[in-house]
């Protein structure tokens, strides 16, 4: 991936007193990093594409970004050019081996982009963690193991698998925010309510800070009537919660939606973000604008 800053991303362009110190950085004022889980139990909705390209946009703007691949398919790792078959250590080791540290697993893809990569072994992790389940420890392993590492970053983005198992729960235990990538299809609201149940459950039992930051509409067909109606319904649903103590009370349907764009579908097989692979594409334009919107939208004080 290229390290050159994209001048069109302005999220960190203001300089504080010291050169290179961006005032807009989370953490610059002692606030914790933004830790965001990209979550949807439905497969193929755009979780990995959004994690990689929002992360790349933020890192090219100068933010320190950590991506965590929690999916045994290891698509995020492949998308950033890491071969999961050649890894010495992965998130799998981190989760099942007490002695493996996050500092040993993290790979620096560019100076501002770190990755905790996955390997296919990760599929067995739920069974291996299960023995800790009785002691109530299995949900917090990722959080406990990455506590020190995450403080070195401004943004930590987690790519969850398409299920609500122990890997996703570990992600939601570490995260402070959830972003739901989805398509504006019929039944979108029903799918969302299942996700909100899970967020509410994790918030009540494990992680009281967890909130829904918002929804990203992926592979969007803006000019269809259905997509417009569904986006309107989602907005109306979120509006109803304003001022309540629901975990989605401050959530947004992020603008812009990400248009369907063939370059976004091609770039993973080249191990490149959209900004390296096709910087002039609509996909690159949408993800730069989306990253700005996410950076500007704070659900924690």
Residues that bind ligand ATP (CB under 6 A): 43-49, 71, 73, 75, 162, 218-219, 258, 260-261, 264-265, 268
> Looking at beta carbons only, is 26 or 84 nearer to ligand ATP?
84
Q: How far is the CB of 107 from ligand ATP (least distance, A)?
A: 20
Q: Count CB neighbours of 291 within 10 A.
A: 27
How many amino acids of this chain bind Mg ion (CB under 5 A)? 3
The entry of Mg ion, ligand ATP, none that residue 285 binds, CB within 5 to 8 Å by partner kind: none
> Looking at beta carbons only, is 73 or 273 nearer to ligand ATP?
73
> Looking at beta carbons only, is 82 or 238 nearer to Mg ion?
82
Q: Mask 71-100, x = binds Mg ion (CB under 5 A)?
A: ----x-------------------------
The Cα 161–Cα 40 span in angstroms is 8
Q: Mask 41-60, x = binds Mg ion (CB under 5 A)?
A: ------xx------------
Of 104, 150, 111, 90, the residue nearest 1 (C-alpha)? 111
Site for Mg ion contains 143 (CB under 5 A) = no
Q: How far is the CB of 20 from ligand ATP (least distance, A)?
A: 32
> Looking at beta carbons only, is 24 or 41 nearer to Mg ion?
41
Q: Count CB neighbours of 226 within 10 A.
A: 12
- CB burial of residue 5 (10 Å; 0-12, 13-18, 19+): middle
Q: What's the distance, CA 124 to chain centroid?
A: 22
State whether the Cα torsion 105-148-61-287 is positive or negative: positive
Q: By three-state DSSP, how is residue 181 classified?
A: strand
The entry of ligand ATP, Mg ion, none that residue 261 binds, CB within 5 to 8 Å by partner kind: ligand ATP
Q: Which stretch binds Mg ion (CB under 5 A): 11-19, 24-32, 69-77, 195-203?
A: 69-77
- CB burial of residue 258 (10 Å; 0-12, 13-18, 19+): buried
Q: Count CB neighbours of 219 within 10 A.
A: 21
Contacting residues for 169 by C-beta, under 8 A, at least 6 apart: 139, 202, 206
Q: Count CB neighbours of 123 within 10 A.
A: 16
Q: How far is the CB of 81 from ligand ATP (least distance, A)?
A: 15
> Looking at beta carbons only, is 186 or 270 nearer to ligand ATP?
270
> Looking at beta carbons only, is 67 or 218 nearer to ligand ATP?
218
Helix-helix angle 188-205:166-174, to 10 degrees: 70
The entry of ligand ATP, Mg ion, none that residue 46 binds, CB within 5 to 8 Å by partner kind: ligand ATP
Which residue ranges make up the site for Mg ion (CB under 5 A)? 47-48, 75
């Amino acid at each position: 991936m290229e390290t050159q800053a994209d001048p069109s991303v302005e999220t960190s362009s203001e300089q504080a007193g010291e050169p290179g110190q961006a005032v807009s950085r989370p953490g610059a004022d002692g606030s914790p990093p933004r830790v965001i889980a990209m979550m949807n139990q439905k497969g193929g909705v755009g979780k990995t594409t959004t994690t990689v390209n929002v992360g790349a946009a933020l890192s090219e703007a100068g933010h320190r970004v950590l991506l965590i691949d929690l999916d045994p398919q290891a698509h995020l790792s492949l998308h950033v050019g890491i071969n999961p078959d050649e890894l010495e250590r992965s998130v799998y080791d981190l989760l099942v081996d007490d002695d493996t540290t996050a500092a040993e697993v993290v790979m620096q893809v560019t100076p501002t982009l770190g990755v905790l990569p996955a390997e296919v072994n990760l599929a067995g992790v739920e069974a291996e963690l299960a023995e800790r389940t009785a002691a109530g420890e299995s949900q917090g392993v990722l959080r406990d193991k990455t506590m020190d590492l995450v403080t070195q970053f401004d943004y930590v983005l987690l790519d969850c698998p398409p299920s609500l198992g122990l890997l996703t729960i570990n992600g939601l235990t570490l995260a402070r925010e959830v972003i739901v990538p989805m398509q504006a299809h019929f039944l979108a609201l029903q799918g969302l309510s299942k996700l909100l149940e899970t967020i509410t459950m994790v918030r009540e039992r494990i992680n009281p800070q967890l909130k829904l930051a918002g929804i990203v509409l992926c592979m969007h067909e803006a000019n269809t009537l259905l997509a417009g109606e569904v986006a309107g319904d989602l907005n109306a649903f979120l509006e109803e919660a304003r001022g309540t103590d629901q975990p989605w009370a401050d959530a947004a349907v992020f603008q812009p939606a990400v248009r369907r764009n063939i370059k976004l579908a091609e770039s993973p097989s080249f191990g490149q973000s959209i900004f390296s692979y096709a910087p002039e594409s609509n996909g690159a334009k949408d993800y730069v604008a989306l990253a700005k919107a996410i950076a500007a939208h704070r659900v924690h004080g």
